[in-house]
Structure formats: structure tokens, C-alpha cells
Structure 1
Amino acid sequence: MDVTIYYNPGCGTSRNALALIRNAGVEPVVIEYLKTPPTRAVLQELISKAGLNVREAVRQKGTPYAELGLNDPTLADDQLLDAMIEHPILINRPFVVTPWGVRLSRPSDIVLAILPLPQKGPFYKEDGDMLIDAEGNRVE
């Protein structure tokens, strides 16, 4: 199964999403997007296939979002995309691509919608919350 995650190892949500993918028995292609940013075309495709608009894919927290004036609601999508390409930290994460779709996996358990279930075993997020029980089923 071809799965790709646009990943930031310093992000707990990215780490949890990657662990959930692996808990499904899948070893994904891991792209550390801060080191290897997507092209503009790939970024546009990720955003579109995830059902988002460009502004929804811009990360604000811990980024130069406000300093760059990106909080201006009149900015066009092209301007936001230019900023995301120039400053990849502005790309919200993690984007996950599977044969069943693309998601911005925030929170991390959103990735379950595009992974095979049941999972291979229990799964606990880094904060200790159980997401998958011992039978591999999602805990609601």
C-alpha cells in the first residue's frame, strides 16, 4: 500500500499520525517537509484533495504567520501559497496520502478515516489517550 506522510518530527501530532499508520501495518514514505518541502503544485494538490481551502492549510501557531501579515483576510490564495513555499513551517501538518484519500491529520486520529481497520493492536497517543483497543478497533 502506498502511503505518504508529510511529517515534522518535532510535532506530536505528526508523530502520533505516523505511529497510527505503522500500527495499521503500513510503512509509509516519510517526507520531512521542512527539509524537503513539496512543490507548489504538490501543495495545491494536497490541499485540494484534503477538501481544504488554502487558508485552512496555513499553520499559525509557532510560525511567522502574523509577522508576515498573513492574517490579512484580503490576501489571495496565491499569496498564501507563496508564503508557504518560502516558509515551509507555515504548512500545517501532517498531510497524509493513502489510496483512500488525503487528510490533514489534525488531530492525528483523522488519519484513521483513510487507513485500513482494524489496526494491528492497541494504540495510545503520546499523551496517554487510548485510540485503538486490544482488538484493533477505534475507541470512541
Structure 2
Amino acid sequence: MSSIVMYHNPRCSKSRQTLALLQERGIEPHIIEYLTTPPTPAELTQTLAALNMQPQELLRTGEDDYKTLDLANFDGTNDALIELMCAHPKLIERPIVIHGEQAKVGRPPEAVLAIL
């Protein structure tokens, strides 16, 4: 298994571009299609730490779930938000590439090159 992990959504153009960028460099990451296999709260917490981000920074604010759950007015704990993100994985920004203790969101796709 690759030491590089990618949270991937094959329907997302940025996710596909990021995967292609890695593959062009001979890297075959371990792919996690996070919409079908969402991260656990512990995994997402660890990923957030590697990204050096707060849960709110990883939210996709344009998603219907964001509006339905009224997350613009969320006043709960980070742990509660992480639980929601795992229960509704469409809320998680993509793609995320993890290499060791570091991670980057592939927006733009070239951003992930900083951790390779």
C-alpha cells in the first residue's frame, strides 16, 4: 500500500486533476472514496491536525447539507462538528492528500506537491 493517502471523489474535477497530477509523478496513492467510506471522527481529527485546520475551515459551504443543517449558525463544539462531517461526508472539502504527518487540500491540485 502507498504511504500517500488520498480522500477522493471521482465525480469532482479537482479530485480527478489531483489524482492525475500524482500519477504523472509515478505516485499511486491509496484511494479512499470518502463518500462511500467516510472517515471516522478519529481519522478526521487526525487529518485536520495534519492539515493544521479547524473543522470549519474544511467545510464545503455550498453543499445542501450545509444549508439544511444550518451550519452557518453552528455553535457546537469542534467534536460535534467533526461528528456531523463524518455523518454527512459531502460536507468535507476535497481532495485531501496525506503523506506521513502532513496533509494538503488539492485546491488547486498543485498544492499537494508541497508535501511530497
Instruction: Tell me, in whole angstroms, the C-alpha distance in 2 between the residues paired with 1:63 and 1:112.
Output: 31
| Number of equivalences | 115
Equivalent residue letter for 2:53: L
TM-score of the superposition, structure 2-length normalised?
0.90
Q: Percent identity?
A: 38
The answer for the alignment partner of 1:84 in structure 2 is: 85
Instruction: Tell me, in whole angstroms, the C-alpha distance in 1 between the residues paired with 2:20 and 2:64.
Output: 25
Instruction: Tell me, in whole angstroms, the C-alpha distance in 2 between the residues paired with 1:70 and 1:79.
Output: 11
* 1:61 equivalenced with 2:100 (yes/no): no
Higher helix share: 2
Structure 1 segments of 4 or more deviating over 6 A? Answer: none
Alpha-carbon deviation of 1:100?
6.8
Report the 3-state secondary structure (helix = DSSP H, G, I; strand = E; otherwise coil) of the residue aligned with 2:97.
strand
Q: Is the 8 A contact 2:4 2:29 kept in 1?
A: yes
Q: Which has the higher contact order (CA 8 A, sep 6+)?
A: 2
TM-score of the superposition, structure 1-length normalised?
0.76
Q: Is the 8 A contact 1:93 1:104 kept in 2?
A: yes
Instruction: Tell me, in whole angstroms, the C-alpha distance in 1 between the residues paired with 2:74 and 2:36.
Output: 29
Instruction: Tell me, in whole angstroms, the C-alpha distance in 2 between the residues paired with 1:98 and 1:7.
Output: 14
Equivalent residue letter for 2:44: L
- Which blocks of at least 5 consecutive residues in structure 1 are unaligned? 116-140
* 1:2–1:68 Cα change, 3 Å: same
> Which deviations, in whole Å up to 9, do the C-alpha atoms of 1:30-88 show, x marking residues without a partner?
11000111111000110111111110011122331011011115332122112111111
Equivalent residue letter for 2:70: G
Q: Is the 8 A contact 1:34 1:88 kept in 2?
A: yes
Q: Is the 8 A contact 1:100 1:114 kept in 2?
A: no
Instruction: Tell me, in whole angstroms, the C-alpha distance in 1 between the residues paired with 2:12 and 2:52.
Output: 22
CA root-mean-square deviation: 1.5
- Which blocks of at least 5 consecutive residues in structure 2 are unaligned? none
Equivalent residue letter for 2:18: A
* 1:63–1:110 Cα change, 3 Å: farther
